[in-house]
Structure 1
């Protein structure tokens, strides 16, 4: 736990007390934290959610955002929710996979949220979150956004073997299977690592590249992409249960309306790809057979930790989350 996280605890604890009292009165005041910096592409959908809740729920529910990753390290948010330090968070299951490894299913799905809500996938994963970590998964804020491998030099004949690529635990096994040497580098250090040639590239979503300035050291984006970026709204189940049924129904309704608009991310990706091309980042298309093998390996390796951590539920989730 860092100093800044510790410094947040007294204020957040008081905020929680206030929000619980608010739930029994007319208006519930909920304190939120974000794993993503304000004014970035993965924060914006959450800001839209907050704005709509506050505009449409006046007198019923109000959300106050008390900080971002500068106030609480993203990997601490799951524990903060579980212990009730904050009421809700804009985060990703990747950041609390130590608590709920099954949450990675959302990164591996190729079904839209509308189908997962209909086929029982959402209900199952929400229940797993409650049972394992006392969290309530309200819904998904981003869809149809894949990860890509970006390289500092455009390859003539791509050979993954020997490449050093900035990675994350979520797709480390996949990179190992490709022959890539995964390198753990903080986002703030990636530009320098590219500049010094200590890494050959990095994995990042199809959007958000320009928030970080990495385009200056990037020449190629490998196609196809892999996995899916998942961000969502997660509640402390204690805070959720303290709300009235009317308040819960209202928040769920706001999330469902936002999820219905998630098709906009496809257009965002197209816009970012066009801008990448303007900046000199060219798409490198794997041949059809290699692309199929690439995609198959990503799913095979991606599901391994989920199935290993939870064989029974992992198998159920895979059946529900993958077409």
Structure 2
């Protein structure tokens, strides 16, 4: 992290006057988002924070610092790890620089509630505690598949000759589809599309309207693949400093947040219809090709995970996959 960014973050925290709490019974947690404040993720998080603070007076409060203007998206993970902030709304793709295993979360194929029941959350936190100095708190987004969005139509799952914006989530998969890949922060994608720096990008089914990318998008490749992982993570020492009542209250509110995840299925349907209305055409393959396309995504994803951390990948794969 650059000295300029560190200085900026320190000034933000100092100016906001963050304290451990107004009393011995109440603590305040500093939370930052890796996503833009005008996006759907932060909008829903803000509603949750309001409820959290209203019901948590005298116990636990959350002070929302802001989005990427406060701390750049790809530096949020390190800010949590080092305790610059207490909590963050983030996705594993944005903090693989801190912990490469964060990218494995895209490969889950079972509901969040089942991940809690079958031990997946415990397995995740074993790794996050040991390697990232973090606590994995809650996954607040599910049923949001990724898609390939393009300005040029394709008739088969082959991206040869196309420059496509990526994050670590789908780097290996897009390269397996012969794409030339380009990494940029989300805030730079519109300009990259406008100037022809990229021919398309990967993104979940929802959210492109928040960023105005629909203005520069002509096609969406179906079917989707993987599941967008947007979660709350916390600095481990900060988590351990919480009293038992505070931790119990936090857990109660986290489960309530996940309990609202049914919203995302409806949202995906609405966004699909909205994209069609905006003139974005769906590129569809036949049934056999579609299945092979999705299977390839997971094969490539797990191959990358196994190469990165064989033991952790094997442990996660058993817990992230549907029971047979």
TM-score range, shorter chain: over 0.9
Rounded Cα–Cα distance in structure 2 between residues aligned with 1:50 and 1:280: 35
Kindly indicate whether the alpha-carbon contact (under 8 Å) linking 1:166 and 1:201 is maintained by their aligned counterparts in 2.
yes
Over 3 Å counting, the alpha-carbon distance change for 1:300 and 1:221 in structure 2 is same
Question: Where do 1:164-203 residues align within 5 Å?
Answer: 164-203=163-202
Residues 1:300 and 2:299 are matched in the alignment:
yes
SS of the equivalent of 2:19 reads: helix
Gaps of 5+ in 2: none
Q: TM-score, normalised by structure 2?
A: 0.92
Question: Where do 1:173-252 residues align within 5 Å?
Answer: 173-252=172-251
Gaps of 5+ in 1: none
Rounded Cα–Cα distance in structure 2 between residues aligned with 1:279 and 1:206: 14
Which residue does 2:265 correspond to in 1? 266
CA drift at 1:226: 1.2
Rounded Cα–Cα distance in structure 1 between residues aligned with 2:50 and 2:19: 21
SS of the equivalent of 1:170 reads: coil
Which residue does 2:142 correspond to in 1? 143
4+ runs deviating over 6 angstroms: 13-17
CA drift at 1:13: 6.9
Rounded Cα–Cα distance in structure 1 between residues aligned with 2:282 and 2:173: 21
Kindly indicate whether the alpha-carbon contact (under 8 Å) linking 1:32 and 1:87 is maintained by their aligned counterparts in 2.
yes
Q: How many residues align?
A: 321
Rounded Cα–Cα distance in structure 1 between residues aligned with 2:58 and 2:157: 58
Q: Identify the structure with the greater helix proportion.
A: 1
Residues 1:33 and 2:32 are matched in the alignment:
yes
CA drift at 1:177: 0.9
CA drift at 1:16: 9.3
Question: Where do 1:75-94 residues align within 5 Å?
Answer: 75-94=74-93
SS of the equivalent of 2:137 reads: strand
Kindly indicate whether the alpha-carbon contact (under 8 Å) linking 1:45 and 1:142 is maintained by their aligned counterparts in 2.
no
Query: Aligned Cα RMSD in Å?
Result: 2.0
Bigger mean CA offset, 2-11 vs 51-60: 2-11
Alignment deviations for residues 38-91 of structure 1 (CA, whole Å, 9 cap, x no partner): 121121232132112101111111111122211111222222212211111111
Rounded Cα–Cα distance in structure 2 between residues aligned with 1:169 and 1:155: 23
Which residue does 2:13 correspond to in 1? 12
